[in-house]
């Protein structure tokens, strides 16, 4: 079979100059490839990768998406994944099968898109004498002659297609960047002009707004790079004018622009906590009022304590505040007195309490159980000391049934400790004295009723809280049951 065999179309289609030129271009490319005069580079390409590149660059050859679909169907009839341009690659599908692989395209539409591929030089026609597509095989089953569509021109133009695809991708990135810059310029200019008008600043804001309106037209979907570049440059100049006008209206004398000067950070020493402010106003400078006249209401995230419910303990608290303000030397609370005054505290220890290290570990656990934040706990430790802060946690646990917000109460005690008006040891002595005189852990006299008492919880046979309302260290709740207080 010669190279120039079946070069003219079948039927009424005439031989055009473009068709003959395309065939001659393919013949010359194969000749250069066979003689090695073209750098001996192999014209082999992955058909699906090449089809993707042609899809991106299809605008260069004015190919529609339906035309690319027909080409994809033709490539599916070639069994190998690569196409070689050094020899003819003829596929001979029937019209019915080609229509099915083209997503059911109509025969007339199919013929139109095949003609577009031939005109673009992506395929060549190899028409048989009767216009049918078929192949002639020898005795061994090898294809000897075939008539249909030659796919080798697509492989021969692989380099050209890839170059155009890379150019199209670069152009798409440029368009995206220009559109992004135009959008950002419009947004910044609009907000700056609005701020100048809203703040009644000096400047020709009305004229700037008119210039912005002239440049705020909707961008066309198919806008070119030249159009977007022109719009971007105009907006960039307008943005510079708008920013300069806004800066000129500012009083720059109030802004320090000298990097050699170190300005001090202005820090407000007063607490922003609503609870702390209320407590400070109530307490004043009188140590006897450090816990008085604070109403019980919800204030944001902090619930303030009502001292009416702490009357059995109020005396010891006020005594602790009063004696803390004096110049008498103080001693840290003793471990024995802590365990006697707060019998509930050792029940939360993991392995019992033998020293102050165990007290600190237990206080950390109780702190989390009472809902006291880590910040309030660390602040109390810095203000009181570790042993005093742990003692305070133990006493808050002992009175937890009567305190609505242990975290808020601890912050109030921390503030008093910072002022030197709170001693946990004195408060512990008052709590121990109240217990030794017969006042129960829940703040009630023996035989009396406490309206805030919690629901009854089952305990062991020896009892956790006796009929007289007094709890001792030997009394323990059942394992896994939540105890009162």
Q: Which of 436, 461, 478 is the last residue of a domain?
A: 436
Task: Give 398 or 286, the one with higher predicted confidence.
Answer: 398
For all residues of the chain together, what is the average pLDDT?
74
Which is nearest to 225 in space by CA: 189, 181, 161, 184? 181
- Give the torsion through C-alpha atoms of 441, 442, 447, 451, to 10 deg: 180
Tell me if 111 is assigned to some domain: yes
Q: pLDDT confidence of 293, banded at 50, 70, 90?
A: very low
Task: Give 9 or 265, the one with higher predicted confidence.
Answer: 9
Which is nearest to 190 in space by CA: 161, 213, 219, 207? 213
Give dist(CA 454, CA 482) in Å, integer.
Answer: 11
Q: Bridge partners of 477?
A: 459
What integer pLDDT is reported at residue 17 of this predicted model?
61
The token pair at 392 is 């305070």
Q: Is the dihedral of CA 19, 23, 25, 26 positive or negative?
A: positive
Residues 6+ positions from 118 with CB-CB distance below 8 Å = 19, 22, 124, 125
Tell me if 166 is assigned to some domain: no
Which is nearest to 362 in space by CA: 386, 331, 334, 379? 386
Give dist(CA 303, CA 297) in Å, integer.
Answer: 6
Residues 49, 141 within the same domain: yes
Residues 221, 283 within the same domain: no
| Highest mean pLDDT: which range of 149-163, 285-299, 308-322, 456-470 | 149-163
What is the mean predicted confidence (pLDDT) over 235-258?
77
Residues 238, 188 within the same domain: yes
Q: Mind listing the pLDDT tens digit for each residue in 155-171?
A: 888 989 999 999 999 99
Q: Bridge partners of 136?
A: 145
Residues 152, 188 within the same domain: no
Residues 326, 410 within the same domain: yes
Q: pLDDT confidence of 139, banded at 50, 70, 90?
A: confident
Which is nearest to 145 in space by CA: 29, 15, 2? 2
What integer pLDDT is reported at residue 8 of this predicted model?
63
Q: Which domain holds residue 223?
A: 179-249
Q: What is the CATH number of the domain that holds 78?
A: 1.10.10
Q: Mind listing the pLDDT tens digit for each residue in 373-394?
A: 998 999 999 988 888 888 899 8
Tell me if 446 is assigned to some domain: no
Residues 241, 386 within the same domain: no
Q: pLDDT confidence of 455, banded at 50, 70, 90?
A: very low
Identify whether the C-beta of residue 209 lies closer than 8 Å to the C-beta of residue 193.
yes
Identify whether the C-beta of residue 177 lies closer than 8 Å to the C-beta of residue 225.
no
Give dist(CA 345, CA 185) in Å, integer.
Answer: 65
Residues 226, 373 within the same domain: no
Tell me if 476 is assigned to some domain: no
Give dist(CA 363, CA 350) in Å, integer.
Answer: 11
Residues 6+ positions from 239 with CB-CB distance below 8 Å = 185, 188, 189, 192
Q: Mind listing the pLDDT tens digit for each residue in 59-83?
A: 999 999 999 999 999 999 999 999 9
144-153, 159-168, 252-261, 326-335 — which is least confidently predicted?
252-261
What is the mean predicted confidence (pLDDT) over 96-103?
93
- pLDDT of 426 > 50? The answer is yes
- pLDDT of 371 > 50? The answer is yes
Tell me if 352 is assigned to some domain: yes
Identify whether the C-beta of residue 91 lies closer than 8 Å to the C-beta of residue 134.
no
Residues 215, 125 within the same domain: no
Residues 6+ positions from 257 with CB-CB distance below 8 Å = none
Residues 281, 409 within the same domain: yes
Tell me if 93 is assigned to some domain: yes
| Highest mean pLDDT: which range of 9-23, 139-153, 435-449 | 139-153
Q: Mind listing the pLDDT tens digit for each residue in 475-484?
A: 344 343 344 4
What is the mean predicted confidence (pLDDT) over 455-483?
37
What integer pLDDT is reported at residue 200 of this predicted model?
86
Q: pLDDT confidence of 448, banded at 50, 70, 90?
A: very low
Residues 58, 106 within the same domain: yes
Q: Bridge partners of 44?
A: 84
Residues 187, 304 within the same domain: no
Crossing angle of helices 406-418 and 374-384, in 10° steps, is 30
Which is nearest to 87 in space by CA: 157, 160, 156, 162? 156
- pLDDT of 368 > 80? The answer is yes
Tell me if 443 is assigned to some domain: no
Give dist(CA 428, CA 392) in Å, integer.
Answer: 8
Residues 309, 398 within the same domain: yes
- pLDDT of 459 > 50? The answer is no
The token pair at 292 is 């008085």
Residues 6+ positions from 473 with CB-CB distance below 8 Å = 339, 340, 343, 346
Tell me if 293 is assigned to some domain: yes
Number of separate domains in the chain: 3
């Amino acid at each position: 079979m010669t190279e120039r065999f079946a070069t003219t179309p079948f039927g009424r289609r005439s031989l055009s100059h473009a068709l003959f030129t395309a065939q001659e271009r393919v013949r010359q490319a194969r000749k250069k490839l066979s003689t090695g005069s073209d750098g001996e580079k192999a014209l082999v390409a992955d058909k699906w990768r090449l089809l993707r590149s042609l899809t991106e660059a299809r605008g260069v050859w004015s190919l529609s998406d339906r035309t690319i679909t027909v080409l994809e169907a033709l490539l599916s009839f070639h069994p190998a994944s690569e196409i070689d341009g050094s020899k003819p690659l003829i596929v001979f599908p029937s019209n019915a099968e080609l229509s099915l692989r083209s997503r059911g395209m109509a025969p007339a539409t199919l013929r139109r898109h095949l003609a577009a591929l031939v005109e673009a030089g992506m395929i060549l026609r190899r028409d048989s004498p009767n216009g049918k597509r078929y192949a002639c095989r020898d005795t061994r089953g090898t294809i000897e002659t075939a008539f249909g569509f030659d796919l080798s021109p697509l492989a021969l133009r692989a380099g050209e297609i890839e170059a155009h695809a890379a150019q199209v991708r670069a152009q798409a990135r440029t368009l995206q960047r220009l559109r992004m810059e135009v959008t950002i310029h419009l947004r910044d200019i609009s907000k700056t002009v609005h701020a100048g008008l809203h703040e009644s600043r000096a400047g020709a804001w009305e004229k700037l707004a008119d210039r912005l309106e002239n440049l705020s037209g909707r961008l066309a979907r198919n806008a070119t790079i030249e159009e977007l570049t022109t719009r971007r440059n105009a907006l960039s100049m307008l943005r510079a004018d708008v920013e300069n006008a806004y800066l000129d209206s500012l009083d720059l004398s109030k802004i320090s622009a000298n990097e050699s000067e170190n300005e001090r950070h202005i820090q407000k020493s007063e607490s922003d906590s609503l609870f702390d402010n209320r407590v400070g106003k109530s307490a004043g400078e009188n140590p006897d009022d450090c816990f008085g006249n604070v109403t019980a209401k919800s204030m944001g995230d902090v619930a303030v304590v009502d001292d009416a419910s702490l009357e059995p303990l109020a005396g010891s608290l006020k005594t602790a505040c009063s004696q803390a303000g004096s110049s008498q030397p103080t001693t840290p609370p003793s471990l024995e007195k802590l365990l006697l005054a707060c019998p509930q505290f050792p029940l939360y220890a993991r392995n019992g309490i033998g020293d102050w290290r165990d007290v600190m570990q237990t206080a950390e656990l109780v702190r989390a159980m009472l809902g006291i934040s880590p910040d309030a706990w660390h602040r109390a430790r810095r203000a009181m000391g570790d042993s005093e802060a742990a003692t305070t946690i133990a006493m808050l646990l002992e009175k937890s049934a009567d305190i609505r917000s242990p975290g808020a109460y601890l912050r109030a005690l921390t503030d008093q400790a910072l002022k030197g008006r709170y001693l946990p040891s004195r408060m512990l002595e008052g709590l121990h004295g109240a217990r030794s005189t017969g006042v129960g852990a829940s703040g009630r006299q023996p035989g009396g009723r406490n309206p805030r008492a919690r629901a009854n919880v089952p305990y062991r046979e020896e009892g956790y809280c006796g009929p007289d309302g007094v709890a001792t260290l030997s009394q323990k709740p059942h394992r896994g049951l939540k105890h009162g207080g």
